[in-house]
Amino acid sequence: MTPAELLALDARHVWHPYGPMPGRVEPLLVTGAAGVRLRLADGRELVDGMSSWWSAIHGYRHPVLDAALAEQAGRMSHVMFGGLTHEPAIALAATLAEITPDGLEHVFLCDSGSVSIEVAIKMCLQYWRSLGRPGKRRLLTWRGGYHGDTFHPMSVCDPDGGMHGLWRGTLPEQLFVPAPPAGFDSPPDQSYVDTLAAEIERHAGELAAVIVEPVVQGAGGMRFHHPGYLRALRELTEANDVLLIFDEIATGFGRTGELFAADHAGVTPDVLCVGKALTGGYLTMAAALCTSAVADGISRGEVPVLAHGPTFMGNPLAAAVANASIGLLLEQDWRTSVRRIGAGLRDGLAAAAGLPGVLDVRSLGAIGVLQLDHPVDMRLATEVATAHGVWLRPFRDLIYAMPPYLTADEDLAAITAAMVAVAQKA
Ligand SMILES: *Cc1c(COP(=O)(O)O)cnc(C)c1O
């Protein structure tokens, strides 16, 4: 089929993320990707600023990951996980327990980030049921969050960004506190901590868990906050018999400058979710990890099982490539790479500070953000970025990048130049 034929069929049949059907903006047709470049059907190559939504931390077609996948496909691509187990999943669970904050011992592998949030919530609700406190079934979060697109995760997304108005009566009604004060380096604001304390104490009897994205609120607005708020949440939840869930689906595997964002705060949540970069962006897989206290609570209950078991749970291909990706990350000096990317983003984006329409320029770890005072014109943004040879996918008023860690300095410069140009024109 020609590119034009493919795009015609795409327009007719294929539903794309967060879009109407048919879509209003034609997507770019990709025929291949290698290193940090996407190849388009018309022959153009684009430097990828997005790591395919946080996931492709090692870029595309990495020989180590390709080999791990091929090798595993030569053994078995999938077997059911009920009653059966295998080395790729065992090794992955053991590694995750080792590299995540101390105390997270048990690993539930699942299909996607949203499903891991469902599992995390189920774990927390069931824990309190098992302990004879079924009234503890609500969740508290701060505004500006994003936790996925299935219903329970949607219920803890930012009420405006998550379109809670559209879903009134359908979504469980959770408790919201204001978004944490912005700024990774801004010392914790005691009056905000007092607000957290008051809400958690007031609702302790009905609260199963507090759920937040630690340090970086991603798709909810690319906002950073001080890790001190996480320590405050840990103390407050412990003191009030409430569990704490960290959603590290975007922040995990080095993106914020620590292996996990929780490491900035030195705290262990009761449940932690990872996804996105878990497989280096090769296949869909996520995990919910929990402490022994949570697992014991559930397993001693009236219904002493966690009733969840996706068909493709523990998929060996995904687990094998996840093992290879984590191995590749840990055997290199990833901190230096993330710091280099961060410095490149900071330097390149400095040109945008003070531009008309640019409200804020910020970066943390290997994440760079330009926030505008108006919504980005997406069609124009894509035009401008691709003219610079770069792939960006702004949303709302945000132009942001989280490039693969191996992005070369000159490619990084192209990414920031494209971001600044988009800020000027779109
Ligand atoms: C992407 C994301 C999710 C949802 O993961 P999916 O794999 O898209 O279902 C949840 N939480 C955060 C923080 C995310 O960035």
Residue 204 CB: number of other CB atoms within 10 A? 16
What is the pLDDT confidence band of residue 163, given thresholds at 50, 70 and 90?
confident
pTM over 0.85: yes
* Domain encompassing residue 341: 3-61+333-425
Residue 164 has pLDDT above 90, yes or no: no
Residue 69 lies in a domain: no
Measured from the CB, is residue 113 less than 6 Å from ligand 1? yes
Verify that 7 and 143 share a domain, yes or no: no
Helices 409-425 and 378-387: crossing angle in degrees, nearest 10, is: 140
Nearest alpha carbon, ligand 1 atom 7: 113
How many Å lie between the centroid of ligand 1 and the Cα of residue 410?
Answer: 30
30-34 and 243-247: which strand pairing? Answer: unpaired
Tell me phi and psi for residue 315, to 5 degrees: -40, 125
Verify that 326 and 359 share a domain, yes or no: no
Provide the pLDDT for residue 161.
Answer: 86
Verify that 254 and 274 share a domain, yes or no: yes
pLDDT digits (tens, 9 = 90+) for 342-368: 999 999 999 999 999 999 999 999 999
Verify that 339 and 321 share a domain, yes or no: no
Provide the pLDDT for residue 134.
Answer: 96
CATH number, domain containing residue 88: 3.40.640.10
Measured from the CB, is residue 247 less than 6 Å from ligand 1? yes
Rg over CA atoms, the chain: 21
Residue 250 CA, closest ligand 1 atom number: 15
Residues classed as catalytic: 18, 146, 247, 276
Verify that 310 and 338 share a domain, yes or no: no
Verify that 326 and 337 share a domain, yes or no: no
What is the pLDDT confidence band of residue 165, given thresholds at 50, 70 and 90?
confident
Instruction: Give the count of domains, the chain.
Output: 2
Nearest alpha carbon, ligand 1 atom 5: 113
Provide the pLDDT for residue 7.
Answer: 98
Mean pLDDT of 284-312: 96
CATH number, domain containing residue 359: 3.90.1150.10
Mean pLDDT of 406-415: 98
Nearest alpha carbon, ligand 1 atom 8: 113
Verify that 302 and 222 share a domain, yes or no: yes
How many Å lie between the centroid of ligand 1 and the Cα of residue 178?
Answer: 21
Verify that 49 and 152 share a domain, yes or no: no
Residue 275 CA, closest ligand 1 atom number: 7
What is the pLDDT confidence band of residue 122, given thresholds at 50, 70 and 90?
very high
The residue whose CB lies within 8 Å of the most ligand 1 atoms, and thus the one to mutate among 111, 139, 147, is: 147
Question: What's the CA dihedral at 274, 276, 282, 285 to 10 degrees?
Answer: 40
Measured from the CB, is residue 114 less than 6 Å from ligand 1? yes
pLDDT digits (tens, 9 = 90+) for 143-161: 999 999 999 999 999 998 8
Verify that 327 and 339 share a domain, yes or no: no
What is the pLDDT confidence band of residue 241, given thresholds at 50, 70 and 90?
very high
Q: Are 285 and 274 in contact (CB under 8 A)?
A: no
Mean pLDDT of 285-314: 96
Residue 217 has pLDDT above 90, yes or no: yes
Nearest alpha carbon, ligand 1 atom 6: 113
Provide the pLDDT for residue 74.
Answer: 98
Measured from the CB, is residue 219 less than 6 Å from ligand 1? yes
